[in-house]
Amino acid sequence: MATSKKDIRALTRDDLRAFFVDQGDKAFRGNQVYEWLWQKSAHTFEDMTNVSKATRKMLEDNFVINHIEVDTMQRSQDGTVKNAVRLHDGLIVESVLIPTKTRTTACVSSQVGCSLDCKFCATARLKRMRNLNPDEIYDQVVAIDKQSRLYHNQALTNIVFMGMGEPLMNYKNVIKAIDKITSPEGLGMSAKRITLSTSGVPKMIRKMADDEVKFNLAVSLHSAVEEVRTSIMPFNETFSLTDLKAALEHWYAKTKRKISYEYVVWKGINDTQKDIDAFVKFCKYVPCKVNIIEYNPIEDGDFKQASSEALQHYIDALEKNRIVVNVRRSRGKDIDAACGQLANKK
């Protein structure tokens, strides 16, 4: 429910320490509460059992904890779990737990809806409502970590920002969330196990490189031919492949980390030799690996998965050029949890 009280997790640890000093309490109390809020992921002030009743009441009077709630959870036959997550203002986003033999990956959302307009993506059909706050991104990870422990007997191993939204259009909050996820004061996960996926916002890719972020970068490329990319991802008109290439070169120069390209091959759209040649050429600009994703049909879409021959042509061409390529089988299709299917259907 909306309230005028301040979201306590918008405060830094220093803010909280100062707040307690202002209240005539010890700064150290700020640390205790901070630990409850992040490391222990407390949903209510009542949970903070090493803080006095009076202090808890005082916090209750001044602040709210805008914790997400998992509204519905669906489990796929393949073990994938999809959460519809309710935010404090009633809006819903989705996040997914994807288990494999060796790892469990959380796929998290960064916006309610999406700012971009990819023609093949179900999320793009939703209006972008708002950016998620850092704590709302963090909470999705905490919820999935719990599910990973419960259903797969292991802590979460990886995180991908491949849920709803364009993370680079909510850069500040995504970075704050990642800082908490990687900090020992939060979840203490390694940044190496986190991948941010973007449709390709050149200016922000440069910024990330300049900020010396330690996580991995994936780019949803889908075409290396300017007109083709613009036809399926209209924002490419503004953020052209030429600018994207330059930004990716900057990223590599600064970070020395390989980029992953996400790529779907569609019938009649990007399945010709010309498309393949352009992609192979693009892959040579900076060290990279390629993930070919299976197309997940969305309702009333005009897109069709290309034939397996067309796919094989891509794979052969990439491998001939010594580019590592993986073909990703879709997970959680039966519950609309696969790439591009997140659209708050429930």
Taking CB under 6 A as the criterion, the residue among 41, 140, 170, 220 binding ligand SAH is 220
Minimum Å gap between C-beta 330 and ligand SAH is 7
Mark residues 246-265: x for contact with ligand SAH by CB under 6 A, - for none: ----------------x-x-
By CB under 6 A, tell whether 197 contacts ligand SAH: yes
Question: What number of chain residues touch ligand SAH (CB under 6 A)?
Answer: 16
Q: To 10 degrees, what angle do helices 308-320 and 273-283 make? A: 40
Taking CB under 6 A as the criterion, the residue among 11, 276, 288, 293 binding ligand SAH is 293
d(CA 250, CA 245): 9
By CB under 6 A, tell whether 34 contacts ligand SAH: no
d(CA 208, CA 194): 14
By CB under 6 A, tell whether 144 contacts ligand SAH: no
Q: Which contiguous run of DSSP H or E holds residue 84?
A: strand 81-86
Burial 284-301, CB ≥16 within 10 A → b, else e: eebebebbbbbbbebeeb
For ligand SAH, which stretch binds (CB under 6 A), given 138-146, 194-202, 208-216, 224-232? 194-202
Q: Which of 59, 323 has the CB closer to ligand SAH?
A: 323
By CB under 6 A, tell whether 147 contacts ligand SAH: no
Q: What is the dihedral of CA 8, 9, 15, 19, to 10 degrees?
A: 20
By CB under 6 A, tell whether 120 contacts ligand SAH: yes
For ligand SAH, which stretch binds (CB under 6 A), given 37-45, 57-65, 238-246, 289-297? 289-297
By CB under 6 A, tell whether 340 contacts ligand SAH: yes
Minimum Å gap between C-beta 219 and ligand SAH is 7
Minimum Å gap between C-beta 197 and ligand SAH is 4
Q: Helix %, strand %, coil % for the chain, to 5?
A: 40, 20, 40
52: number of Cβ within 10 Å:
11
Taking CB under 6 A as the criterion, the residue among 11, 209, 339, 343 binding ligand SAH is 339
Tell me whether residue 273 is exposed, middle or buried, using C-beta atoms within 10 angstroms of its C-beta: 0 to 12, 13 to 18, 19 or more: exposed
Backbone φ and ψ of 325, nearest 5°: -130, 130
User: For residue 171, which of 128, 208, 214 has the smallest C-alpha distance?
Assistant: 208
Q: Which residues bind ligand SAH (CB under 6 A)?
A: 120-121, 162, 166, 197-199, 220, 262, 264, 293, 295-296, 298, 339-340
